[in-house]
Amino acid sequence: MKNNSVLPQLTRAGKTLTQDLSAFPIRSAFVIQFAAEAGVMGGQWNGRVEHVRSGQSTHFHSLDDLLTFITQILTDIRGRVEEDF
């Protein structure tokens, strides 16, 4: 089968990049930026996290803060998706 895509077909574990991306919807994407002084290995979780789709963001000072924000967003998304059905 000939591929007419302009983009190169990158593969990983036998799947094309396009196939891999379909498993990672944009509604679940986050950008995590660590502060310059963050020392993750030493337990200093300082930074900022942003939900890509909504633009909601927060600063975090611990792993728990980071995971709480991500969990809140994902829970809200799942609730809205279930309401649509």
C-alpha angle 58/45/60, rounded to 5°? 15
Judged by DSSP in three states, 57 sits in strand
Q: Considering the entire predicted model, what is its pTM?
A: 0.67
Q: How confident is the model over 47-69, as pLDDT tens digits?
A: 999 999 999 999 999 999 999 99
Q: What is the pLDDT of residues 11-48, one digit of tens each?
A: 556 655 555 666 788 899 999 999 998 888 888 899 99
The pLDDT-based confidence of 1 (bands split at 50, 70, 90) is: very low
